[in-house]
Amino acid sequence: MENIANRISVFVKPWKGMSLAALAAHVHDLGFDAVELPVRPGFPCRPETVEDDLPQAVTILADHGVSVLNVTADLPLDDERLYAACARAGVPMNRVMFRLGEQNYWEAEAAARRQLDAALPLCAQYGVQIGVQNHVNKFVAVHEMGLHHLVHEYNSQHVAIIWDAAHNALAGMEPEPALDVVSSHLCMVNLKNGFWQRTNGPEADVAEWKVYWTSGRQGLASWPRVIAKIKQMNYTGPICLTAEYSDHDRVDSFIAADVRFARSLLESA
């Protein structure tokens, strides 16, 4: 089995203002040699110029020893420029999430499926996969059962599942059965962690909560259990540490510690 400890990437959203060369050096120093790259306004890869920006970015990062495992693009799923750019750059997958908006859940799921259907010919033509991620709150889907319901009828070469351990834990399902549910279409595992934090006092009429994003050892998601399960599954795909923390000033120290923690779990017997 391939050593999945060698397929860990980091989502580089926290370092938006860095040049690509500086970004490569920075993620290397933090313990990574692969990234998830945003194609979003304000980042080096811009949606309106993706056909030129993405291949150039991949080349620059590669020259500094960093590969791009996937993108997450602020572009419509039927925009052919994204698929052409990914194919030209050798980037195999685009991570997406579907917001609920003002629609009811079933309307939003149907709208998401229409977007996926429109993208299928481009996925097939350019060899680019769409990875759909779970996300708590107003998203399609909030957990693994919703992901399965949305994508299980698609060819996993074209539409697959990115399972996020933290969002899964926040939604309440244990990691082992959750990974069983998504196993047929699993293309990436996201590792981050968080817990629900009360935002008002006990004297309030109704409790209110928010998510506090924390380090890998401290949240509701058990990284040891997640990694034990994916080992049992013989999963060999990528793992992405998303570098999302509520304490923004400590992102670098947290992510450096978290990648060491993840690698120790992956490399243990």
Q: What is the pLDDT of residue 1?
A: 39
Query: By residue range, what is the domain housing residue 129?
Result: 4-267
Name the pLDDT band for 7 (thresholds 50, 70, 90). Answer: confident
CATH number of the domain to which 57 belongs: 3.20.20.150
Per DSSP, what are the bridge partners of residue 95? 131
Give the Cα separation of 98 and 141 in Å (integer): 7
* φ, ψ for residue 8, nearest 5 deg: -100, 130
Q: What is the pLDDT of residue 246?
A: 97
The letter for the amino acid at 64 is H
pTM for this model (two decimals): 0.94
Total number of domains in the chain = 1
Residues 6+ apart with CB under 8 A from 170: 136, 194, 195, 196, 211, 220
Q: What is the pLDDT of residue 5?
A: 52
